[in-house]
Amino acid sequence: MKTPTTTLAMILVLLATALPAHAQKADDSLYRDLGGLEVLTKVVDDTLALALADVRIKDTFKETDMKRLAKLITEQFCELSGGPCKYSGDPMKEVHQGLGLSNRQFNALVEDLQAAMDKSGIPSRTQNKLLALLAPMQRIVVTK
């Protein structure tokens, strides 16, 4: 007869084996819906071009290596959406500490990203799936 303890142990073993397996074949459907690396690269380039022309936030990039930033954001979007990339930048919290970004500036970049995704013909429901993954970053990016 199984005791509650052995049942619990079995569940834990199952979880321990199931979780890494699940993590390995992560769902990449969003990455594919977004159009893969080619489209993501263009979306990020367009977003940053819009951001540099956006009076609300252009000054925040004064001392930024834009080429490197584009590479890092592309990696991040690719990884977040389930694609075969690895974000190689510093943790988001470290990167944004001391920048004193406001909520309005965070949303300004979101709007530039939305416009860039529009430009690449990404449908609204797919855009919102990516934005849902980025939205919680507001808590560490906005420090003002």
Partner 1 sequence: MSNATGLARRQASAIALALAMVLSLAATPTPASAQTAMTPDMGKLMATAGVIQVEGAGGGGLVPWATITGYGSRDSYGANVHYTYVGTQDYKLASYGVAVGIADRVELSLAKQRFTGSLAPLNNLRIDQDIYGVKVKLAGDIVYDQDTWMPQLAAGVMVKRNNGIGGLGAVTNVKDLGAKSDSGIDYYLAATKLFLDQSLLVNATVRATKANQMGILGFGGDKGDRYQAMLESSVAYLLNRQWVVGAEYRMKPRNLAADNEKDYYDAFVAWFPSKNLSLTLAYVSLGDITIYNPKRQDGVYLSVQAGF
Nearest-10 crossing angle of helices 66-80, 36-52: 140
Residues that bind partner 1 (CB under 8 A): 55-56, 102-104, 107-108, 110-111, 114, 124-125, 128-129, 131-133, 135-136, 138-139, 144
Q: How far apart are alpha carbons 57 and 33 in whole angstroms?
A: 29
Q: Quote the crossing angle between the two packed helices 124-134 and 103-119, to the nearest 10°.
A: 150
Between residues 102 and 120, which has the closer beta carbon with respect to partner 1? 102
User: Which of 8, 123 has the CB closer to partner 1?
Assistant: 123
Of the pair 86, 125, the CB lying nearest partner 1 is at 125
Rounded least distance, CB 89 to partner 1, Å: 20
- The DSSP letter of residue 61 is G
* Shortest CB 96 distance to partner 1, Å: 15
Q: How far is the CB of 129 from partner 1 (least distance, A)?
A: 5
Q: How far is the CB of 6 from partner 1 (least distance, A)?
A: 33
Q: Is the separation of the CB atoms in 48 and 69 below 8 Å?
A: yes
Q: Tell me the helix, strand and coil percentages in the chain, rounded to 5.
A: 70, 0, 30
